[in-house]
Amino acid sequence: MKQRIVVVGGVAGGASAAAKARRMNDAVEIVMFEKGPYVSYGNCGIPYYIGGDIAERDDLFLVTPETFWDRFRIDVRVNHEVLRIDRTKQLVVVQGPDGEFTMNYDRLILATGGVPLRPPIPGIELAGVHSLWTIPDGDAIMQFVQSLSANAPVAVIGGGFIGLEMAEGLHQRGFDVTVVEKMEQLMPPLDAEIAAYAVKELQDKGIRVILGDGVSAFEAAAGQLDHICLESGEQLPASLAIVSIGVRPETSLAVDAGLELGGTGALKVDEHMSTSDPRIFAAGDMVESRHRCSDTYMRIPLAGPANRQGRVAGHNAAVDLLASPQERLAFQGVLGTSIVRVFELALGQTGLSQKVAEHLGLDIQVSHTFSADHAGYYPGSRSILVKLIVERPSGRILGAQTVGAQGADKRIDVLATAILAGLTVFDLEQLDLAYAPPFSSAKDPVNVAGMVAGNVLRQQYRLLSKEQLQAHPDRYCILDVRSQAEWDAGHIPQAVHIPVDELRNRLQDVPTGKPIVVYCAVGQRAYTAYRMLGHNGFSDLYSLSGGWQLWDCILDDPNQEPTTH
């Protein structure tokens, strides 16, 4: 009798695992049970389908059960829920459309994913209150929105990935969208000053953003969701609410079988994606992953890790059962790299955020730089904000965040690669990246970020963060070295204004008595001014990290004087 691999869950991790298992071992039976009606679909695309960017629902279906059989001899059974694992007998108990049955396994791969959080808020069971995770969830929302009038008020509860994508999608459908986030910022994995760009972009598009407020009740009128009571007391009109406040790992099957959980509450696996039972592997949103920067464990419910973990789990389950077992693959961990599009903007992250690094007690340096995504003289150039979180004094890059209308994805991927490799900011200065005017500048935004952070770590330059200056404005003399036009368009209230090109002749006008914080639009002229002041007897100098643009949450300042060098 053939040996058998059973896969539980047929979306990202499970489908990858099954296909890889077949490629490694043609002699085993492979059966994949999926609780829902579909396998291997593009669940990350559902918000874009609801928003209309993806026109055809069929486009979301990547592979059918028939393809799995024809190509891989994988027996896919949708609408089959695995109820129980009997590890002693090595079998699963399955509820199918025709009743319950058991099936034995030689290796089991769990990829049961996650479940959207649905806290017991009064009224959450109302018909107009939806979550989005699966195709049926998406279908239900699509059906519901057909019943809404144009411009109906809708609320998105939770400002994470899915929340922001849904806010955009529902806005595109013509609804009057409000985003409600319990924390004081959107996109909690990002640092606050970066996430602020998402708030601004949403507001610019006419979406209301409510931060630091939660839902106390969903209330109906005439049997329909009518409004949302917020903890602040506000009543927010809403005909539809999308609750997207996070997902929990779906571990009940594993827990019932006595498999070990990790400290995060997700399933514990080793680098081979093996659970505490060596015959059972797991992958995807249900497991916890080692963060390569902090060596701590975390939950990363994202499709990229799920696919790569599935490949490893499938490989290892399959090679275990070969007549002559082959070497296992290892999954080395994650960086938490992610990206979200918010209308025109992309916001990317990799590695540790500043707040996580500080929470871990690491000695870090942070920098913010704005650079053009491609040569300023070539049409269509836009600004990218790069934030680095750097270990002191080594210069090793621990984390990065980027914001931009173009090329923010490219720079976060370069930085994710640099972090995985253990590179320092001094290496970033040396990166030999591809330059032609349509694609980058002779000094790429990543080079520039490395050079600025490198200058700081070489103690040639000190940065003060926006938060530090906001917290204690009176401790500093603030010096604005921008042009008159830029100053006139807006400046930090307490600042003194001396344009950089006049500074040499006006050193006597530089305020003294306190540490001096110099700023310009992005930091380039401030650096020049800072160095000049330092050479001319001024000490206790800072440059405002990210300059006026970060201060005022601007990405491309139309008033900015063109500069280089």
Question: Kind and range of the H or E element at 358?
Answer: helix 354-359
**Separation between Cα atoms, residue 53 and residue 404, nearest integer Å:** 20
* Smaller CB separation from a second copy, 125 or 270: 270
Q: How far apart are CA 279 and CA 329, in angstroms?
A: 15
Residue with tokens 């929105």: 145
Q: Min. distance of Cβ 13 from a second copy in angstroms?
A: 10
8 Å CB contact between 346 and 409: yes
Q: How far is the CB of 337 from a second copy (least distance, A)?
A: 4
Instruction: Provide φ and ψ at 501, rounded to 5°.
Output: -75, -10
Max distance between CA atoms of the chain, in angstroms, equals 91
Is the bond preceding residue 393 a cis peptide, omega within 30 degrees? yes
Instruction: Tell me how crowded residue 245 is: count the other CB atoms within 10 A of its CB.
Output: 21
Would you say 557 and 525 are in contact if contact means Cβ atoms under 8 Å apart? no
Cβ pair 386, 366 in contact under 8 A: no
Q: Please identify, using beta-carbon distances, which residue of 179 and 419 lies nearer to a second copy.
A: 419
Nearer to a second copy, 407 or 546 (CB): 407
Residue 200 CB, nearest approach to a second copy (Å): 20
Angle between helices 445-457 and 408-420 (to 10 degrees): 50
| Residue 103 to residue 30: CA distance in whole angstroms | 12
Q: Which is nearer to a second copy, 227 or 387 (CB)?
A: 387
Paired sense of beta strands 496-497 and 477-480, if any: parallel
* Cβ 87 to a second copy shortest distance, Å: 28
**Closest to a second copy by CB, 254 or 526:** 526
Torsion sign, CA atoms 198, 204, 206, 209: positive
* d(C-alpha 522, C-alpha 104), whole Å: 63
Cα dihedral: 343, 336, 300, 159 (round 10): -30
3-class secondary structure, 48: helix
Q: State how beta strands 129-130 and 240-243 pair.
A: parallel
User: Considering beta carbons, is residue 182 or 531 the nearer one to a second copy?
Assistant: 531
CB of 247 to a second copy, least distance (A): 16
3-state secondary structure of 413: helix
Smallest gap from residue 425 Cβ to a second copy (A): 13
Residue 564 DSSP label: -
Nearer to a second copy, 30 or 94 (CB): 30
**Residue 97 β-bridge partners:** none
- Smallest gap from Cβ 91 to a second copy, in A, equals 26
Burial 140-158 (b: 16+ CB within 10 A, else e): ebeebbeebeeebbbbbbb
| φ, ψ at 167 (rounded to 5°) | -60, -45
The size of the chain, in residues, is 565
Q: Which is nearer to a second copy, 296 or 564 (CB)?
A: 564
Backbone angles phi, psi at 309, to 5 degrees: -65, -40
Q: How far is the CB of 542 from a second copy (least distance, A)?
A: 16
Closest contact distance (angstroms) between CB of 229 and a second copy is 32
Structure token pair of residue 281 = 């592997």
* 18/98 Cα distance (integer angstroms): 24
Cβ proximity to a second copy, 38 vs 161, nearer residue: 161
Active-site residue set: 520
Q: 30 near 16, Cβ under 8 Å? A: no
